[in-house]
Structure 1
Amino acid sequence: MKKIITSIFIVAAVFSVNAQINLGKITKAASKGVEALSFSNADAQKLAKEGVDWMDKNNKVAGAKDPYTVRLNKLFGKHKNEDGLPLNYKVYLVTDINAFACADGSVRVFSSLMDIMTDDELLAIIGHEIGHVKNEDSKDAVKNAYLRAAAMEAATASSGTVQTLNDSQLGEFANSFLDSKHSKKQESQADDYSYDFMKKHGYNVVGAYTAFKKLALLGGSAKATSFQKMMSSHPDSEKRANSVKKRAEKDGIWKDPGEVSLPTAKLTK
């Protein structure tokens, strides 16, 4: 498997263990007066789509008949429109452990994440990412990434309009987007959305619990340093797992999964 070439979105790299994305050429232009920029949902969707299109072109995307694509479509085929949000899904064949959803409804799942997560866990993770979009956390991340990319001069920024990015600037934008972090409050709200998503559709909410338990285990792996840095803005994984357990117990749907461990074989089917 190759490293991701880009970057994007990504809005959340909530489940990324090691940023191995190749960002290509990146500009570092300075920007002034960006506070004056007016930024709408339409702007966020437009920029997110441009960033995702760029990433799709610069990374290895699983084909229609690839086992990863088949599995993802089987899981999420009925969620082409979730909670009023049109969604599209693709798998990146990369070594990063990650998943994200964008303001334009693009959902990208990394194959290495699929290797270690069960179907229920993937449902919970993607439900979490959709929650970031529905809560407009993704809009904030896109705006901040755009501003950090410094794709415009002060005079342009002061005009209050979002400018079209060139290829090099898209790389910078994607990189900033990937590095963006949500607040712990936003993460907790996305966790709640994920639980409600699972419950609403009759999925096993315990999948959210075991997904967080696996994240906790990853924090103690050989990649712990990179993982802990990325997860610094997130609530503690063990506490997130316990929160899911408490909600499930209160709802009368808790089923003890037993000891949770990281798989030694790929869960591709």
Structure 2
Amino acid sequence: MIRIASLFFVVFGCPTLSLAQVNPSLIQAGIDAFNAYTLSDAQVADYSRQAVQQMDAKNSVAGPNDPYTQRLNTIVVRHHKVSGLPINYKVYKVADVNAFATADGSVRVFKGLMDVMTDNELLAIMGHEIGHVINHDSRDAMKSALKRSAVRNAVASNSGTLGKLSRSQLGGVADYMLGASFSRRQETEADDYSYDFLKRNGYNVMALATSFEKLAKLSGGGQGGRVAAIISTHPDSKSRADRVRDRARRDGLAR
């Protein structure tokens, strides 16, 4: 943080330094640092929308008549707006066991996840990912990605080799969406959001527990595609399933 703040001062705060004397990578780093601290929620959503568009272009997206799309549309027919946020859903025809949601309301579900989950379990997982958006975890991760971009550009100003990578695709914002990790508190709050979402809409809350139990088994090794970020960032799936079961018993929704 100190380095970024100092970098911003050097680029924009020194009245005797002309832009012609500054390496363009250093200017971009200062812009990234500034953006990381001043981005509004609307700007974060716009960055997210652009990043998702890039990811959609790079992945095999199931078409409107694809059985995976038709199944997903049936599952989410009641949930095109969640907690006031408009949601758009697509399926990636990728074997990885993964799903993510971004600050603009984009939800992407991977074929590999749909192959191993029931409809209600998919809703539970999507509810968890949407919970990260509603709780502003995704917004904060975006800002962190921009801060890292600023640091990378500062390095690039000396090496001349990383600038293109750090400036491409919105400074690597698309990459963060598949690799973002959240704190234990954030994960617990997203679990609670999903539980409440299922309960509020009349679904069996135990679907959240059974989805975690499946993920715990899958983390033991390769069934189908690669078990991606949804496992690597959720190492305690079994204990989280137990927590859901305990809460359901307290609520009289399970024995």
Same fold, judged at TM 0.5 (above): yes
Give unpaired runs (5+ residues) of structure 1. 1-28, 155-164, 256-269
**CA distances 1:182-208 after superposition (whole Å, capped 9, x unpaired):** 111000000000000000000111110
**SS of residue paired to 1:50:** helix
Spell out the pairing of 1:246-265 with structure 2 (5 A cutoff).
246-254=246-254
**SS of residue paired to 2:168:** helix
Asked whether 1:177 is paired with 2:177, we answer yes
**How far apart, in 1, do the equivalents of 2:184 and 2:228 lie?**
14
**How far apart, in 2, do the equivalents of 1:204 and 1:139 lie?**
29
Kindly indicate which of the two structures has a greater share of residues assigned to helix. 2
**How far apart, in 2, do the equivalents of 1:217 and 1:170 lie?**
36
**How far apart, in 1, do the equivalents of 2:61 and 2:230 lie?**
24
CA contact (8 A) 1:89 1:108 kept: yes
Give the match for residue 113 of structure 1. 113
Asked whether 1:239 is paired with 2:239, we answer yes
Q: Which amino acid aligns with 2:236?
A: D
Give the match for residue 63 of structure 1. 63
**SS of residue paired to 2:246:** helix
Give the match for residue 123 of structure 1. 123
Q: Which amino acid aligns with 2:102?
A: C
**How far apart, in 2, do the equivalents of 1:203 and 1:70 lie?**
20
Cα RMSD, aligned residues only: 2.7
**How far apart, in 1, do the equivalents of 2:167 and 2:57 lie?**
11
Deviation at 1:78, TM superposition (A): 1.3
Which has the greater radius of gyration? 2
Give the match for residue 189 of structure 1. 189
**SS of residue paired to 1:220:** coil
Give unpaired runs (5+ residues) of structure 2. 1-24, 155-164
**SS of residue paired to 1:94:** coil
Give the match for residue 147 of structure 1. 147
Deviation at 1:228, TM superposition (A): 9.4
**CA distances 1:75-117 after superposition (whole Å, capped 9, x unpaired):** 0011111110110000000121101111000110001100000
Deviation at 1:177, TM superposition (A): 3.3
Give me the TM-score of the superposition, normalised by structure 2. 0.76
CA contact (8 A) 1:94 1:110 kept: yes
Give me the TM-score of the superposition, normalised by structure 1. 0.72
Deviation at 1:33, TM superposition (A): 8.2
Q: Which amino acid aligns with 2:234?
A: H
Deviation at 1:42, TM superposition (A): 1.0
| Cα distance, 1:240–1:115 mapped onto 2, change above 3 Å | same
**How far apart, in 2, do the equivalents of 1:81 and 1:151 lie?**
36
| Cα distance, 1:151–1:90 mapped onto 2, change above 3 Å | farther
| Cα distance, 1:133–1:170 mapped onto 2, change above 3 Å | same
| Cα distance, 1:167–1:95 mapped onto 2, change above 3 Å | farther
- The number of residue pairs the alignment matches comes to 215
Deviation at 1:169, TM superposition (A): 2.9
**How far apart, in 1, do the equivalents of 2:220 and 2:152 lie?**
41
Q: Which amino acid aligns with 2:51?
A: G
Q: Which has the higher contact order (CA 8 A, sep 6+)?
A: 1
**SS of residue paired to 2:38:** coil
Q: Which amino acid aligns with 2:106?
A: S
Give the match for residue 138 of structure 2. 138
